[in-house]
Each structure stands twice: as C-alpha cells, then as structure tokens.
Amino acid sequence: MSGLLICGGAGYIGSHMAQWLSEHGHNVTVLDNLSTGHRDAVRWGEFVEADLLNPASLDKAFQGRCFDAVMHFCARSLVGESVSHPNAYYTNNVTGTLNLLDAMRRHDVDRIVFSSTAAVFGNPINERIDEDHPKNPINPYGASKLMAERILADAATAYGLRSVALRYFNAAGALPDHGIGEAHACETHLIPNVLRAALGNGPALKVFGDDYSTADGTCVRDYVHVQDLAQAHSLALAYMDNNEGAHAFNLGNGRGFSVREVIDCARVISGHAIPYEVASRREGDPATLVASSQKAREQLGWQPRWTELAPIVESAWRWHRDPPSWFPRHA
C-alpha cells in the first residue's frame, strides 16, 4: 500500500484516479483548490484544500503526511481559452508545477506522475503520434505542458526526481456507478456537449469546422476512457520503482473518430436526435490527433479496457442523463 497525493483529485480525471487507487488498496489524499473541481467528487481519501500557487498551503498539505509519490492533475486545460488567456496557462501549469516540485523537494518526495497532453505535439506529421514525434505545440496549453515536461527532465538530472509524464489524447467517459464523471461549469468538450444537445439542454451543438482535411471534414480525435487513464497512472507508479529519470508515454486507443462520427454514435446510444450547426474553426485545433500507445503497452504493460467508442460514449451518457445533485446546472 502506498501513500499518494492526488493534486487535482476533485476534477474529472483526478477523481477517477482516486477511485482506482482506493479500489486497489492505496491510501489517498486529494489536494485541490476547487477552482474547477468539485468537493462532492472527492469520495475517496482525505481532502486538503490547497493551491499550487500558494506554497504555504502546499506545505500544510505535506506536513504530517507521508507520501510515496504525487500525481499531478492540477491544470488549466482548454485549448481555446489558452489562446485568449495564455498568461493564466503559463502561471497555473508552469509556475504551479514548479511550486509543487519545490514542495516535494522540501518534504522529500521524489516521484511524480504528471498529466500531460497530446497538445505538446502540435500538428501531426504521421498518422499515429508516437513519443518521438516532433513537439511543436500550436497553442499555449500544449506549450505550457511541454515546458513542465522539460522541467521534469531537468529535475531528474539535477535532483534525481523520478517522473512519468502521461500524454492523454482525448479523455472521455465516466463511472456513473461510482458517482463520478465529467462536470465542468463551463463545458467545452465534445462528448459532454453532444450529450447535452441530445438531452435538449442549452443551445444547439456547434461543430467547429467541417473543412478540415479529414474524411468528412470534421476534426478527428482519439478518445480514451478515464478509467484506462487511471490504470496507466497506477502502472507508472510501479514503473518508477525500477526506472530512474524522466519518462513520457502517449495514451490513446490508436483509433480516430471524427466529430460527426461521435455525433452519430451518441444519437444511436441516446436514442435522441442531436441538433447541431456548423460553426467556424476553433483556434488552436489540429485536424487530427491519434496516438500510438505501443510504448505504454510494452513498457508500462498498459491494457486499455475501453477500446471502442460506443461504450465510452454510453458511460458518459448514463452520467449526463442522471447527474448527481452537485452537477453544475448549466454544464
């Protein structure tokens, strides 16, 4: 049993991480500033309210507790918002990470699993993006995460920090039976917005661009279930037992689905029409992002269980159809 600090554990992916770790017998502490996370999503482990931009609050979180490793999910993560508010992204995602690493050093914790993103790659030059693909982010979100990866590499050399950066492609799905799922106050992600349209909540879905160089003109993404992401984090912890240094792995299913294919899938699963209109492209969106996760499969032993789009969308549909009382009203 390990003692683990989950920074950002009140958020979408972090809450699924806490569930996974608790189910697998670990001792979990969740740290969150509740800026976008939900207190009610912290259902496993102790909760500590603290902010990565407030080092004193971080010290309080570490004091009197014993952690074998940290998992770092705290971040701003919206591509479009990062283009219009880059400073907020660099402050949260870079300065916040530096503050966390400093706190870890002060409290002798030398292992971290870091939430990174496919956005570090920018526009793909191969059909499937592996870890050697050039890293040329085209938005501040991706740039901020790439900077944090570089910081982890330098910390490995200078301080002996062990780290694994996991580059998620499109996190999706929910665990409705455990009462957790995606619940953003201002929802920008495709699957929740499609399901909201199916439920007739809010304005019609906007499809951001149908003139991309893809089969149907809409953007193609690789959707990976949050529970499979949690599994990969858990494997990354074990990986650090035997591997020094800073490592990075891409996490996706290796199959791309267009925005139109996601809409079609959601229509079948929900049994509802999905009204949508085509809008202009969203700034910072590459046409296609599909992962090669061979390295994660081979070196971490990662075996995603949610390999088809339909069950991923179905899990999200069950969550959105019957949301908990704390679900943001206009999410």
Cα–Cα dist 325/38, whole Å: 12
Catalytic residue, from 12, 141, 168, 212: name it.
Answer: 141
Name the residue nearer to ligand UDP (CB basis): 28 or 219: 219
Inter-residue contact 16 to 40 (CB < 8 Å): no
Name the residue nearer to ligand UDP (CB basis): 98 or 138: 138
- The residues with which 163 forms a beta bridge, in sequence order, are 112, 246
Q: For residue 309, state whether it binds ligand UDP (rule: CB under 6 A).
A: no
Task: Return the residue of 22, 188, 214, 243 that touches ligand UDP, per CB under 6 A.
Answer: 188
Name the residue nearer to ligand UDP (CB basis): 71 or 263: 263
Task: Return the residue of 47, 67, 208, 249 that touches ligand UDP, per CB under 6 A.
Answer: 208
Name the residue nearer to ligand UDP (CB basis): 26 or 221: 221
Cα–Cα dist 293/299, whole Å: 10
Task: Return the residue of 50, 71, 259, 263 that touches ligand UDP, per CB under 6 A.
Answer: 259
Q: For residue 170, state whether it binds ligand UDP (rule: CB under 6 A).
A: yes
Inter-residue contact 69 to 6 (CB < 8 Å): no
Task: Return the residue of 6, 112, 175, 219 that touches ligand UDP, per CB under 6 A.
Answer: 219
Q: What angle do CA 140, 245, 64 make, to 5 degrees?
A: 85
CA atoms within 13 A on the CB side of 183: 30
Name the residue nearer to ligand UDP (CB basis): 45 or 142: 142
Inter-residue contact 41 to 180 (CB < 8 Å): yes
Asked if 141 is an active-site residue, the reply is yes
Cα separations in angstroms, 6 against 15, 21, 233, 251, 273: 9, 10, 11, 19, 39
CB of 315 to ligand UDP, least distance (A): 16
Helix extents (H) in the chain: 12-23, 55-62, 79-84, 86-90, 96-106, 140-159, 190-199, 226-242, 259-270, 294-295, 309-321
Q: For residue 206, state whether it binds ligand UDP (rule: CB under 6 A).
A: yes
Map residues 64-103 to x or -, x wherever contact with ligand UDP holds by CB under 6 A.
---------------x------------------------
Cα–Cα dist 229/16, whole Å: 9
* Interface of this chain with ligand UDP, residues 137 to 166, rule: CB under 6 A: none
Task: Return the residue of 60, 282, 295, 297 that touches ligand UDP, per CB under 6 A.
Answer: 282
Question: Kind of pairing, strands 288-289 and 220-221?
Answer: parallel
Residues that bind ligand UDP (CB under 6 A): 79, 170, 188-190, 193, 205-208, 219, 221, 259, 282, 285
Supply the residues annotated as catalytic. Answer: 141
